[in-house]
Amino acid sequence: MSKAEWENNEEIKIFREYLQIPSVHPNIDYTPCVEFLKRQAESLDLSVHVVYPANENNPVVILKWEGSEPELPSIILNSHMDVVPVVTEKWEHDPFGAEMDDEGRIFARGTQDTKQIGTQYLGAIRALKAEGFQPKRTVYVTFVPDEELGGHLGMKEFVKDDYFKSMNVAFSLDEGSPSLDENYYVFYAERTAWPIRYKFSGTAGHGSILLPHTAGEKLHYVLNKMMEFRASQVKMLTDDPDLFMGDVTTLNLTQVIGGQQNNVVPAELEVIFDLRIAVTADLEAMERKALQWCEEAGGGVELIFERKDDFVPPTKIGASNPFWVAFENSMNELNLKFRPQVCPGGTDSRYLRQQGVASLGFSPMNNNTPILAHDHDEYITAEIYLHGIEVYKKIIPAIANA
């Protein structure tokens, strides 16, 4: 297709309109998103409901496609309305202009994370309804807030809401990512996030004296232990090319805090690590090890969990899960290669899995799309976007009738 044909395509127009809504952190006004989605629901003859499980500033928009057997457990097609901030001067294109170049690349924040899947779901439903298809199971298309800040004001609260409980959900599709190879990534689990803070207390004094038991010495000991552990995880990835980032525990030093000036030995120092623990790891053993390093450093070291998520069991992928079978068969019929992975980041799927909802993270973008979520000049091509609608057009009926 030419640029003119892409620009005149109705699905592309809808997508670009959604991208032009600056639902960007911080202090998002979701009203334009809600109004846009209400118009989409009307055009598709779908009922729409808006709930505010956390507060009046964070709506969850739910479009409902009634199934022919509504007593069956339902499915959710989920995406989030919010997007991360932009550094405008680093973009060559208006980050909320949804500009398209001659190659059909559509530039905007949210083209990969995750406004694209939200409107792709709607495009697939539009095509399916035009063909007269009605699902057996009721299909809900949910648009949630706050995912980019952890979902605490979005999906985390929504799953506690009476409306969610009335939905009787058995399965969910949510966001994935582009891949590094020809396979499409399918996320069936997430690691356990434990961002941790170490507070080191020690002898303070003049910078010219070799004081004993300083906070810096204790920091050095713990930092070495943490980095040795990090190196062991890097080695695992290096030694086994079949492993993915989500298969190991990642550990990164993200903040160092403390000190007054260059000639004063501080009484306190702090460091913060981003720690994401592999699904195969022993959480209790991990915590014991971290506490042991505090003691070995000489005391005066406090371990604080900035967040301490519970372990969430992975979604089963195999013959015992009819939704997985339906998804797998659809991908095979489309001749699309795919690979189940543990998601290296965090998505709203973890809150659904905590409720016993089988969840898969999937965005129909393979290595033909560079990974630009949260990056400058984020884009998706019109061709890949429209292809994604065709992919969902195959998957949605399969899982809805599973």
Tell me the domain boundaries of the chain.
3-190+311-400, 195-305
Quote the percentage of the chain above a pLDDT of 70. Answer: 100
CATH architecture entry for 3-190+311-400: 3-Layer(aba) Sandwich (3.40)
Closest to 167 in 3D by CA, of 32, 391, 343, 357: 357
Contact criterion met (CB below 8 Å) for 388 and 364: yes
Does 82 participate in catalysis according to the annotation?
yes
pLDDT of residue 180: 85
Alpha-carbon separation of residue 134 from 47, 65, 67, 127 (angstroms): 15, 8, 6, 11
Classify strands 358-361 and 169-174 as parallel, antiparallel or unpaired: parallel
- C-alpha angle 111-113-115 in degrees, rounded to nearest 5: 60
pLDDT of residue 56: 97
> Which of the residues in the chain have pLDDT under 50?
none
Closest to 246 in 3D by CA, of 176, 316, 342: 342
- The CATH code that applies to domain 195-305 is 3.30.70.360
pLDDT of residue 181: 87
Q: How far apart are CA 345 and CA 367, in angstroms?
A: 18
Residue 208 Rama label (left phi>0; alpha psi -120 to 50; beta):
alpha
Residues 256-312 pLDDT 10s:
999 999 999 999 999 999 999 999 999 999 999 999 999 999 999 999 999 999 999
Catalytic residue among 82, 174, 247, 378: 82
Catalytic residue among 11, 113, 147, 148: 147
Residues 127-168 pLDDT 10s:
999 999 999 999 999 999 999 999 999 999 999 999 999 999
pLDDT of residue 45: 98
Q: How far apart are CA 40 and CA 294, in angstroms?
A: 55
Closest to 378 in 3D by CA, of 116, 112, 15: 112
